[in-house]
Amino acid sequence: MVKPRARKRDNRKFYMTLGAIAIVGAAMVAYAATRPSAADTVTTIDPSLLRAGEPQGFVIGNAAAPVEIVEYGDFECGWCAQFAMVTEPDVRQRLVQTGQARFRFVDFPLSMHRNTIPAHLAAGCAADQNKFWEMHDRIFRGQNDWNTAATSNPKRVLQGYARELGLDEDAWEECFDSRKHLPRIQASVAEGNRLRVGSTPTFIINGKMITSAVNYDRLKALVDSAAMAAPAKAPAATPRGSTTTPSPSRP
């Protein structure tokens, strides 16, 4: 006959083991859901989906660059933050500054991220004061301070970034509170959905869609391949942090 005390110890061990299995299982599911694939997936966009003109977004680099790298990104996406902090500095220095490519960031906030819309609004309001890229970098660098897991009041943190960057804080706050940039953000999401963007970060280079946070060498190879097929353009300059709106759709 099992004594009550021994039975209690056995039950406690059983529930502790069950809890440990549940924790490990949840961690494995979370890892599987967020880790990048071993190899990036490159697909060719259906030509019928491509529009004349350019997508919305914020551009850095020379308009005459033979290749444009388009990123559909979410400010609360962990892999987008990794790309922005680890790979994008090399992209800007070695591809954008040398005139081999220009880089366009297009808003693609995912509905699973509660605090991402405020972050995209914050960046748009900084763009009104010609500091989109400074805010872009600061938002990604501080992602763990304002994301859904960190706070229910992301504005407080984001407004601190506006102050840190020397923006007109009153103008920034008025813009943020009015959600001025929400229609543009929604239009960017609709365009991404039309192109069948399904995750972030997603990159589009010369009609090719890459669905993973690619490293610099892989991105450079894709840019080189696109440059070989791109027609030459006359020299022109694109102001840093500029925003463009797409041309009307063609049938």
Percentage of the chain surpassing pLDDT 90? Answer: 66
Provide the token pair at 214: 């690619």
* Residue (of 199, 133, 126) closest to 158 by Cα position: 126
Q: Starting at the earlier edge strand, list the strands of the sheet with 102-107.
A: 42-44, 208-210, 202-205, 68-73, 102-107, 57-60, 242-244
In this prediction, residue 4 carries a pLDDT of 52
Ordered domains of the chain (ranges, CATH): 42-231 (3.40.30.10)
The tens digit of pLDDT for each residue in 172-229 reads 999 999 999 999 999 999 999 999 999 999 999 988 999 887 899 999 999 999 999 8
In this prediction, residue 40 carries a pLDDT of 66
pTM of this structure: 0.76
The CA distance from 92 to 149, in Å, is 30
Low-confidence stretches of the chain (pLDDT < 70) are 1-40, 48, 50-55, 230-251
Provide the token pair at 162: 């506006």
Angle between the N-to-C axes of helices 132-141 and 154-164, in degrees from 0 to 180, rounded to the nearest 10: 130
